[in-house]
């Protein structure tokens, strides 16, 4: 098969579309003929050598894909050759074929084309596991999303609205904020001009849940913006990993801070990818099927031009997801 291999670590130009060994499904695994793969910020870090794949995962980039089941391994009962699927991967999506545990497959939601489905699993798993399974977001609460225009943010806004929560979102431009509002965000904060703590406090006691991608740079202000009993969930460290935490400020609000990732979770068991996928199928896939949550795809780029896709994400040029087209349907 062909895949995006790395010519060393570095800029987008190190990615080359060349031959790679064909994967074969083992027990409980499925082989997918990949049609499209979602691009995630984590891929940019992996390309630079800062985010190695977990032990046992494919060294090829790509945390999500869509395609058609080409082969099923021993012990797989729920999927058949020819099924149209999308999958949460620990790696390997930037390729013509990928192997994945059957427990990480989802059907392509009704009415969705395969390319759009490629951008769903990673955002859906990250958003649901953090907002609902970790922070318990529910109707009437205020959620602050940093990076409302990201692949994660555009999905999170819609999920929060479907739960009946109110959404405040930060973004770096008026145009991205306008589009966040179209998706349902009510409090719009330009992080280059406005103070998000003030903006959130103007709404009441603060944010019940904060979905953070900035890490250290926003730690103190995120704690300031939390409502009593609030949950700060850190999923990205774009502003650094080590910050200073005023425990007194957190304690006075009975607040909690969580930091999680999807990729390093075990395949099965407590807190696993399989657990999240089962929740997505039961709770989120119906929302997508009835159009309450729609995938926001900014660009679909041929895989041979993967460098262009990475440059787009790097320059904050996309609203929503960028998808690599691996083959025609
Ligand atoms: N822990 C996990 O399991 C997990 C899983 C998936 C993603 N993530 C993380 O989630 C984040 C989004 O991922 P993605 O793939 O959707 O990436 P993306 O589309 O490239 O989004 C990056 C976002 O960061 C925002 N941003 C940059 N500087 C900011 C600032 N000072 N204040 C607020 N927002 C700022 C950007 O906003 P503008 O474009 O408006 O400037 C953009 O929306 C990344 O940090 C990623 O590492 C974590």
Look up the CATH number of the domain holding residue 189: 3.40.50.720
Distances in Å between the alpha carbon of 61 and those of 89, 109, 230, 327?
A: 10, 24, 35, 17
- If you measure from the C-alpha of residue 157 to the centroid of ligand 1, how many angstroms do you get, rounded to a whole number? 14
Is the CB of 157 inside a 6 Å radius of any atom of ligand 1? no
Look at residue 129 and tell me if it is in a domain: no
160 and 198 in a common domain: yes
Same domain, yes or no, for 235 and 307? no
- Total domains in the fold of the chain: 2
Q: Please tell me the residue having the least CA distance from ligand 1 atom 17.
A: 41
pTM value is 0.98
Cα 146 to middle of ligand 1, angstroms: 7
Residues 244 and 293 in one domain: no
Q: Which residues of 85-119 are buried (b: 16+ CB within 10 A; e: fewer)?
A: bbbbbbbbbbbbbbbbbbbbbbbbbeebebbbbbb
Residues 166 and 245 in one domain: yes
Same-domain check for residues 110 and 205: no
Hey, which of 130, 150, 188 would you mutate to test ligand 1's pocket, going by the most ligand atoms within 8 Å of its Cβ?
A: 150
Sheet holding 256-259, edge to edge: 187-190, 166-171, 142-146, 207-212, 226-234, 256-259
Rounded Cα distance between 179 and 292, Å, is 16
Q: How far apart are CA 93 and CA 58, in angstroms?
A: 9
Mean pLDDT by 10 residues, the chain (329 residues): 97 98 98 98 97 94 98 97 98 98 96 95 98 98 98 98 98 98 98 98 98 98 98 98 97 98 96 98 96 97 98 96 94
Distance of CA 1 from the midpoint of ligand 1 (Å): 31
- The alpha carbon of 213 and the centre of ligand 1 are apart by a number of angstroms equal to 5
Structural element, H or E, at residue 279:
helix 273-279
240/298 same-domain check: no
For the CA of 45, the closest atom of ligand 1 is 47
Instruction: For residue 322, give the 3-state DSSP assignment.
Output: strand
Boundary of a domain, candidates 230, 259, 288: 259
Model pLDDT, residue 110:
85
Q: Which residues pair with 297 in a beta bridge?
A: 321
Specify the 3-state DSSP secondary structure of 280: helix
Determine, yes or no, domain membership for 43.
yes
Do both 24 and 101 map to the same domain?
A: yes
pLDDT for the residue numbered 244: 95
CATH number at residue 80: 3.90.180.10
Q: Find the 194 Cα to ligand 1 centroid distance in Å.
A: 18
Based on the domain organization, do 104 and 143 belong to the same domain? no
Mutation pick for ligand 1 pocket among 38, 39, 41 (CB with most ligand atoms within 8 Å): 41
65 in a domain, yes or no? yes
Residue 23 and residue 10 share a domain = yes
SS3 for 235?
Answer: coil
Which of 259, 274, 302 is the last residue in one of the domains?
259
80 and 178 share one domain? no
Query: Ligand 1 mean position to 20 CA, how many Å?
Result: 30
Do 279 and 191 have their domain in common? no
DSSP 8-class letter at 256: E
CB-ligand 1 contact for 153 (6 Å cutoff) = yes
State which residues form the domain around 15.
Answer: 2-122+264-325
User: Could you tell me if residue 42 is inside a domain?
Assistant: yes
Residue 19 near residue 13, CB atoms below 8 Å: no
Among 259, 287, 303, residue at a domain's last position:
259
* Residue 130 lies inside a defined structural domain of this protein: no
The secondary structure element, H or E, covering residue 80 is: none
Cβ 190 under 6 angstroms from ligand 1: no
- The closest-lying atom of ligand 1 relative to the alpha carbon of residue 235 is 1
Tell me, using a 6 A CB cutoff, whether residue 150 lines ligand 1: yes
Distance, CA of 23 to chain centre: 25
Distance 231 CA to ligand 1 centre (A): 19
pLDDT at 14: 98
Question: Are residues 63 and 93 in contact, defined by beta-carbon separation less than 8 angstroms?
Answer: yes
Domain membership flag for residue 77: yes
Strands 105-107 and 166-171: unpaired
| Residue 128 counted as domain residue | no
Distances (CA, A) of 161 to 3, 131, 280: 38, 12, 16
Check residue 202 and give its pLDDT: 98
Ligand 1 centroid – CA 309 distance (Å): 15
Which long-range contacts link 10-15 to residues 24+ away (Cβ below 8 Å)?
A: 10/47, 10/48, 10/49, 12/47, 12/306, 12/307, 12/308, 12/310, 12/311, 12/314, 13/307, 14/47, 15/47, 15/306, 15/307, 15/310
Q: Answer yes or no: do 297 and 226 share one domain.
A: no
Report pLDDT for 188: 98
Token digits of residue 324: 């690599």
Q: CB of 42 closer than 6 A to ligand 1?
A: yes
């Amino acid at each position: 098969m062909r895949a995006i291999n790395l010519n060393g670590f570095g800029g987008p130009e190190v990615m080359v579309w060349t031959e790679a060994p064909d994967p074969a499904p083992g027990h409980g695994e499925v082989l997918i003929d990949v049609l499209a793969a979602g691009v995630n910020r984590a891929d940019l870090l992996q390309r630079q050598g800062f985010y190695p794949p977990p032990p046992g995962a494919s060294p090829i980039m790509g945390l999500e894909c869509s395609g058609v089941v080409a082969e099923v391994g021993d012990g797989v009962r729920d999927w058949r050759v020819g099924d149209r699927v999308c999958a949460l991967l620990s790696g390997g999506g930037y390729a013509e074929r990928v192997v994945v545990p059957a427990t990480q497959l989802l059907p392509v939601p009704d009415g969705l084309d395969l390319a759009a489905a490629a951008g769903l699993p990673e955002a859906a798993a990250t958003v649901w596991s953090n907002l609902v399974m970790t922070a318990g977001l529910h109707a009437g609460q205020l959620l602050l999303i940093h990076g409302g225009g990201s692949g994660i943010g555009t999905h999170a806004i819609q999920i929060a609205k479907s739960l009946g929560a109110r959404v405040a979102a930060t973004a770096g431009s008026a145009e991205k904020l306008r589009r966040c509002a179209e998706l349902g965000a009510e409090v719009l904060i330009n992080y280059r001009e406005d103070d998000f703590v003030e903006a959130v406090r103007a709404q009441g006691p603060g944010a019940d849940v904060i979905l953070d991608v900035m890490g250290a740079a926003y730690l103190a202000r995120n704690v300031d913006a939390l409502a009593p009993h609030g949950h700060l969930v850190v999923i990205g460290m774009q502003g650094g990993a080590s910050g200073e935490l005023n425990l007194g400020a957190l304690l006075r609000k009975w607040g909690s801070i969580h930091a999680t990732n999807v990729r390093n979770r075990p395949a099965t068991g407590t807190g696993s990818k399989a657990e999240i996928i089962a929740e997505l199928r039961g709770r989120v896939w119906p929302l997508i099927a009835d159009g309450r949550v729609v995938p926001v795809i900014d660009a679909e780029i041929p895989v041979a031009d993967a460098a262009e896709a990475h440059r787009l994400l790097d320059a904050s040029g996309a609203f929503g997801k960028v998808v690599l087209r691996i083959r025609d349907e």
